[in-house]
Structure 1
């Protein structure tokens, strides 16, 4: 029986237990599921050509402990030869669909990930759990219905977010705005505008999008009814929403504020994914009257976790991936010492307050094993009295320090920045790039030192550098271009340091700066040196 049929029969308790029952597990039961499924995956993986290649002639591991000892941590480069050519017959199980995403701007255009039939079954069950939880207000109670209208501000296939409407439509006849078949023919911006326009006519019950995109789309409500085009758009609004609009306009004028989505729509549920959601969740709650529920999702791991009705940390689904965690100190050491093998810990070994880089082995015939996803999470608790849970709970922190991700759109690395600088022809001698936040919004701050003899210390010069570098970032990375085109963001900031600042830093500290996201105290030291007459200090020394 499908999810929708059980909904119509009001089998709410049965549905909650079927899809959200993992929240009742204790850690021992959770690990039993993890270990059983991982043992099955090891057997599949060891017999396929990909597994045999990675084992390099060694006997297949018999236990999970042997597997973790024998198989090194992996990155996408370890799979590229198999996956980019879509050699499905060489994988643990035959893929039924291939999902695509950006790999690294300016270096590798795309990466693809295979999804098996069993993986898609798990994905479908877990996305239904998310649907239930996003409309829940307490344990066991939820308000998802087959008549719901779903504003969907995410990319269609071949991107991973395109799986969601397809998976849900197998179980429930929720109406997506815009329809999936139409959305696939539209640009990102067109989909968002069309979906919102349809929402004004039909209503919106559930909203799902990147936090940054959801915020940008939400702001457009304040312009409704303004100007000639805005007034003509009122003609397509449903009578019910038009009534709310007229009442809201009166109240907004009386309260001297802009129109907000919550004045027009009464959301049942709100989901968000991607990076930097913490920058937008408070504002989105104020705009819509409902706090977004954050999901864990990615191309390689699929959907792996969700918050609950408390919106106070996320739980990993036990049947999507086998999880390992690299402590922050160990992670940082891998970036400083080439070849260093960090320790990893399992779900029953994580510690509250500790940050971890996530490592996954995709279950149900997936290709990726001991795979460094590139995301950092913090464990915020091992149990929750409020939710009645006895398994670890996490919050998303950011990408690993060697990548700068802005609002879920970019994956900027040292290589991509160096490529941009070289293409621009600007006389930049040294640089470091740091992800920072201003007014609770993410930006990329590049601290540059010009070559000797280049006098570029004025605000005008900073703007010239910013303009030139922005042009080339857009050239090498279309996702960066979308930040401005879709979100209206200009995420680049430039600070020019005196010639010799970097070399003086390295001499005085006896260490080399990490170019992407160096430690905050290292950046502070650079700025201190920049303000000193360090050449004179060097002569005296």
Structure 2
């Protein structure tokens, strides 16, 4: 039976236990599930074309032996094999292919095959998230057929586009606007239409990227004040919705009171995905009157984690992937030692308070094994021996990639290409992800220009920002979408004094890391010539 039928024939506690069973287990049972499913995955992966290419028909007697001898992998190791989309290479037949940006500046994509087993696991875990999003305690949830969903995520072939498809197999939900119509619309147009439909009859669920939902929520007062029912019969609005709208508009005109979505809508569930959510969650709760439930999913790992009803950290689904973690110390050894392969630890070996890079092996016929996704997590708690799971917090991408709001993939190579195409002549540059005074992330490019370039023309940071931004938008569609969807330009440019990089290298006997250098290193770079005066 699907969820819609289960809701009719089973109690709430039975429904909860069927979908949210993982919340009732401890770390020992979690690890038992991990090893059992990894043994199954290891055996089918080694027999597949992709496994034979990686390991040349080698066999392993245990998961731990496999971890010792199978090298860690990155997307470059799979790129040629997956871009061919040859099903004969894969551990299981792909039902569909999901894709995302690999390097926005180079216009390349990553591809991930999803098997039947992967989709079934994704579907069941997505339903668990739906239930938890309406829950304040165990066995308490409010989901029913016909619930209305305002959906602010990208459609297929992106992973987020799976949600309406998988929910549709389990329960009828009404999307605002409907999925088929939404796919033919631009993002902002789709959101405006969604709000227009929601104003007539309320909305039950909201699901989107945290950065995007924050952006569209900020515009809500102006949207509501500029909207009018003159093109629609008042009879097309539910009386309760019409009353809320008129009351909110009256207070705004009389007192200048800001109108929040919570003044109009009564959400039952609110889910957010993507990166940078920690910078938006408090304000989203203020705007919508309900704390968003953070999920974590990705093209390669599928849906791997969700907050619980306490909203105080992510727990990972034990049946989605096999999880390994690289400590910060091991990452530093790798960066300082040529050819060093970092050691990994498992969930039951994590240390509270430490930050780790995650490594995944996708279950149920997934192509990626011992795969470095490029994400950092902090272990908030690891209650060994207790009937509860470790809590994790998503931190950010690894330091050599900058992700803003779940859109961009800024790399060293990408910045070099942008600066070359722009014609800007420079001595050196660094770029970092920083926070504004309001606590929101932005890109900060620091440039030391060549002396003849800066003296031969009128150059200031606003001109440079315009030039760099134009080429960023031109070659990186994700960056262009970020600006269009959020209405915010996340790029800041600072011009350094001539000689800054040489002075830094001379004093500290090393070069700065170009992507995300330490804040202290940036401060030293900014101040180094001041100290010589």
- Structure 1 length normalisation: TM-score? 0.94
How many residues matched? Answer: 531
Does residue 396 in structure 1 map to residue 387 in structure 2? no
Measure how far apart 1:221 and its partner are: 2.2
Does residue 186 in structure 1 map to residue 165 in structure 2? no
**CA RMSD after TM alignment:** 2.1
Measure how far apart 1:331 and its partner are: 2.2
Contact 1:224–1:230, Cα closer than 8 Å, also in 2: no
**Which structure's relative contact order is higher, taking Cα pairs within 8 Å and 6+ residues apart?**
2
CA distance in 2, matches of 1:279, 1:368: 30
Partner of residue 537, structure 1:
none
Deviations 1:452-496 (A, max 9, x none): 344479996111111110111011101111122110111111111
Deviations 1:118-160 (A, max 9, x none): 0000001000000000000111211111121011100111110
Contact 1:127–1:164, Cα closer than 8 Å, also in 2: yes
Partner of residue 372, structure 1:
372
CA distance in 2, matches of 1:33, 1:113: 24
SS, match of residue 462 in structure 2 = helix
Alpha carbons of 1:316 and 1:121: their partners in 2 closer, same or farther (altered >3 Å)?
A: same
CA distance in 2, matches of 1:416, 1:95: 31
Alpha carbons of 1:456 and 1:14: their partners in 2 closer, same or farther (altered >3 Å)?
A: farther
Measure how far apart 1:200 and its partner are: 1.4
Partner of residue 103, structure 1:
102
Contact 1:225–1:234, Cα closer than 8 Å, also in 2: no
Q: How does 1:47-126 map to 2 (within 5 A)?
A: 47-56=47-56, 59-126=58-125
Instruction: Report the more deviating stretch, 74-83 or 174-183.
Output: 174-183
Contact 1:189–1:486, Cα closer than 8 Å, also in 2: yes
Deviations 1:481-525 (A, max 9, x none): 112211011111111111211112112111221100011111111
Partner of residue 316, structure 2:
316
Alpha carbons of 1:27 and 1:496: their partners in 2 closer, same or farther (altered >3 Å)?
A: same
Unaligned 5+ segments in structure 1 are: 535-541
Alpha carbons of 1:488 and 1:336: their partners in 2 closer, same or farther (altered >3 Å)?
A: farther
Does residue 29 in structure 1 map to residue 29 in structure 2? yes
Partner of residue 517, structure 1:
516
Q: How does 1:145-224 map to 2 (within 5 A)?
A: 145-224=144-223
Contact 2:27–2:387, Cα closer than 8 Å, also in 1: no
CA distance in 1, matches of 2:520, 2:304: 34
SS, match of residue 219 in structure 2 = helix
Partner of residue 473, structure 1:
472
CA distance in 2, matches of 1:362, 1:153: 27
Deviations 1:280-310 (A, max 9, x none): 1111111100010000100001100100111
Does residue 527 in structure 1 map to residue 530 in structure 2? no
CA distance in 1, matches of 2:237, 2:404: 34
Deviations 1:47-74 (A, max 9, x none): 01110111145x2112111111111111
Unaligned 5+ segments in structure 2 are: none
Instruction: Report the more deviating stretch, 319-328 or 10-19.
Output: 10-19
SS, match of residue 170 in structure 1 = helix
SS, match of residue 375 in structure 2 = strand
Alpha carbons of 1:503 and 1:306: their partners in 2 closer, same or farther (altered >3 Å)?
A: same
Contact 1:4–1:173, Cα closer than 8 Å, also in 2: yes
Measure how far apart 1:9 and its partner are: 3.1
CA distance in 2, matches of 1:458, 1:488: 30
Alpha carbons of 1:508 and 1:274: their partners in 2 closer, same or farther (altered >3 Å)?
A: same
Instruction: Report the more deviating stretch, 438-447 or 3-12.
Output: 3-12
Alpha carbons of 1:450 and 1:302: their partners in 2 closer, same or farther (altered >3 Å)?
A: same
Does residue 407 in structure 1 map to residue 410 in structure 2? no
CA distance in 1, matches of 2:212, 2:384: 31
